[in-house]
């Protein structure tokens, strides 16, 4: 894409904005219209990029191969959320990756058009030899070519010494390799000729239609964005209404629970007996206090049997301590149930007004 853009006239090219470790270069005020019509590219400095060479199978790169190469590039990138730019050669796939979060901190939009600096500055033909040292905006890049394709890349902030260069070349294992010749230059020339031929056939009508399309597309995009925002706003209002209704129902249930709890206390005080629902109420309160719920409850003569479900890993001692503090239960015993996070509870019922004996 970058090579095609280089062949276009200057007024048809997208705006290039440099992004270095110190931040992004502001867009000139005079380039706003061109950026809207033809796009805006953020050219990321080599200092912010990571290089990977991935062997690709011979033949056509179908969707399966492309997904496999992209997955491999993501796994090798030293970033939590990497962005990728993959170029395909006859023998290798070259993957440039960058840290999306860092670029956002430098002022690059999340969905921006990002172009790696080495890909933008790549020559039409590889060098005559195997190695090349290029001076870039933030430092120097060493490139090693094999079989006419980029094989390795390394970046230095300062000009490397000859020792550094020799070490880098030796690490790539170039010596003794029988590299093939690069692809013929006629392929590039043919592509350039086709571009010129297409441009020569552009009529005023074609230019007018293209301008109408370029101007109308942003307007349609804005209209679609507005419709999407309105739909999302309506959905948010509907969800808010549902939350309010659920909160009202929960508040009503809480009031009924408090009224029933007060009534149970009056029953127990009047009859000097634990109301049948009092242990269930206290177990439900205890389960809520330990971030759980009462799944099952049953009263047998003088005892209760229940199952408590907990959402988090809770210390069994904390469960027993919380249950022993309830007025209507004593001699609490628990054990794990079959379901994960569930506890089977057995305890003696205590009559109202009967003090519990302290544990020794």
- Relative to beta strand 131-135, strand 92-99 is unpaired
Q: How far is CA 308 from CA 48, 73, 127, 342, 345, in A?
A: 54, 48, 74, 6, 7
- What is the C-alpha separation between 290 and 275, in angstroms, rounded? 24
- What is the C-alpha separation between 43 and 120, in angstroms, rounded? 8
Q: Residue 256 CB: number of other CB atoms within 10 A?
A: 10
- What is the C-alpha separation between 51 and 123, in angstroms, rounded? 18
Among candidate residues 245, 191, 237, 135, the one with its CA nearest the CA of residue 1: 191
pLDDT digits (tens, 9 = 90+) for 249-297: 888 888 888 888 888 777 766 565 556 677 888 888 888 887 788 888 8
How many domains is the chain partitioned into structurally?
A: 2
Among 117, 152, 181, the domain-final residue is 181
Are 14 and 159 within one domain?
Answer: yes
What does the pLDDT read at residue 219? 85
- What is the C-alpha separation between 46 and 141, in angstroms, rounded? 8
What does the pLDDT read at residue 271? 60
Are 151 and 6 within one domain?
Answer: yes
Using the predicted structure, report yes or no on whether residue 118 has a pLDDT greater than 60.
Answer: yes
- Relative to beta strand 113-116, strand 82-88 is unpaired
- Domain membership of residue 284 as a residue range: 272-349
Both structure tokens of 163? 């020792």
Q: Residue 295: inside a domain, yes or no?
A: yes
Are 13 and 118 within one domain?
Answer: yes
Confidence of residue 353 (pLDDT cuts 50, 70, 90): low
Q: How far is CA 10 from CA 58, 93, 122, 200, 242, in A?
A: 37, 30, 19, 16, 55
What does the pLDDT read at residue 221? 85
Using the predicted structure, report yes or no on whether residue 191 has a pLDDT greater than 60.
Answer: no
Are 177 and 278 within one domain?
Answer: no
Confidence of residue 123 (pLDDT cuts 50, 70, 90): low
Using the predicted structure, report yes or no on whether residue 334 has a pLDDT greater than 70.
Answer: yes
Which of 221-225, 271-275, 324-328 has the least mean pLDDT? Answer: 271-275
Using the predicted structure, report yes or no on whether residue 193 has a pLDDT greater than 60.
Answer: no
Q: Residue 229: inside a domain, yes or no?
A: no
Among candidate residues 311, 306, 338, the one with its CA nearest the CA of residue 323: 306
Using the predicted structure, report yes or no on whether residue 312 has a pLDDT greater than 70.
Answer: no
Q: Residue 88: inside a domain, yes or no?
A: yes
| DSSP H or E segment with residue 204 | helix 204-271
Confidence of residue 194 (pLDDT cuts 50, 70, 90): very low
15 touches 40 (CB < 8 A)? yes
346 three-state secondary structure: strand
In degrees, rounded to 5, the angle at the alpha carbon of residue 209 between the alpha carbons of residues 207 and 211 is 70
pLDDT digits (tens, 9 = 90+) for 58-114: 777 788 888 889 999 999 999 999 999 988 888 888 999 999 999 999 888 888 888
Q: Residue 323: inside a domain, yes or no?
A: yes
Q: Residue 240: inside a domain, yes or no?
A: no
Q: Residue 221: inside a domain, yes or no?
A: no
What does the pLDDT read at residue 50? 92
Token pair 């509907």 in the structure block, residue: 238
Are 172 and 299 within one domain?
Answer: no
137 touches 18 (CB < 8 A)? yes
Q: How far out from the chain centre does Cα 223 lie?
A: 28
The pTM assigned to this predicted structure is 0.46
Q: Residue 256: inside a domain, yes or no?
A: no
Q: How far is CA 111 from CA 39, 41, 83, 136, in A?
A: 12, 11, 10, 25
Among 181, 204, 238, the domain-final residue is 181
Q: How far is CA 121 from CA 1, 209, 286, in A?
A: 12, 32, 68
Are 166 and 295 within one domain?
Answer: no
* Cα torsion angle, 292, 295, 298, 303, sign: negative
Q: Residue 116: inside a domain, yes or no?
A: yes
- The pLDDT mean for the chain works out to 78
Among 181, 206, 227, the domain-final residue is 181
What does the pLDDT read at residue 11? 54
Rg (CA), the chain: 36
Confidence of residue 140 (pLDDT cuts 50, 70, 90): very high
- Residue 288: give its domain's CATH number: 3.30.980.10
Which of 53-67, 187-201, 275-289, 344-358 has the least mean pLDDT? Answer: 187-201
């Amino acid at each position: 894409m970058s090579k095609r853009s280089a062949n276009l006239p200057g007024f048809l090219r997208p705006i290039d904005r440099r992004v270095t470790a110190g931040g992004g270069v502001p867009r000139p005020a005079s380039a706003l219209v061109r950026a809207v019509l033809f796009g805006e590219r953020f050219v990321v400095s080599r200092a912010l990029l990571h290089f990977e060479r991935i062997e690709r199978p011979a033949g056509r790169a179908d969707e399966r191969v492309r997904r496999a190469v992209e997955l491999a590039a993501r796994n090798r990138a030293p970033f939590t959320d990497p962005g990728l730019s993959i170029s395909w050669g006859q023998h290798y796939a070259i993957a440039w990756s960058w840290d999306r979060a860092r670029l956002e901190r430098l002022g690059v939009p999340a969905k921006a058009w990002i172009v790696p600096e080495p890909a933008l500055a790549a020559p039409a033909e590889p060098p005559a030899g195997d190695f090349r040292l290029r001076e870039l905006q933030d430092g120097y890049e060493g490139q090693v070519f094999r079989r006419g394709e980029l094989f390795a890349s390394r970046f230095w902030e300062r000009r490397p010494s000859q020792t550094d260069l020799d070490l880098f070349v030796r690490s790539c294992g170039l010596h003794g390799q029988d590299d093939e010749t690069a692809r013929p230059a006629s392929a590039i020339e043919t592509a350039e000729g086709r571009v010129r031929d297409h441009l020569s056939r552009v009529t005023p009508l074609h230019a007018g239609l293209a301008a109408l399309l370029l101007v109308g597309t942003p307007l349609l995009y804005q209209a679609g964005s507005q419709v999407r925002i309105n739909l999302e706003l309506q959905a948010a209002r509907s969800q808010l209404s549902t939350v309010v209704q659920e909160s009202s129902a929960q508040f009503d249930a809480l009031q009924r629970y408090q009224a029933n709890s007060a009534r149970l206390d009056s029953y127990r005080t009047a009859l000097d007996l634990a109301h049948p629902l009092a242990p269930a109420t206290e177990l439900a309160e205890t389960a809520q206090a330990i971030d759980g719920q009462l799944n099952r409850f049953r009263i047998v003569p003088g005892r209760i049997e229940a199952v408590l479900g907990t959402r988090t890993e809770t210390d069994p001692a904390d469960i027993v301590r919380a249950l022993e503090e309830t007025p209507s239960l004593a001699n609490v015993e628990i054990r794990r149930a079959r379901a994960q996070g569930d506890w089977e509870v057995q305890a003696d019922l205590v009559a109202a007004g009967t003090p519990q004996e302290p544990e020794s």
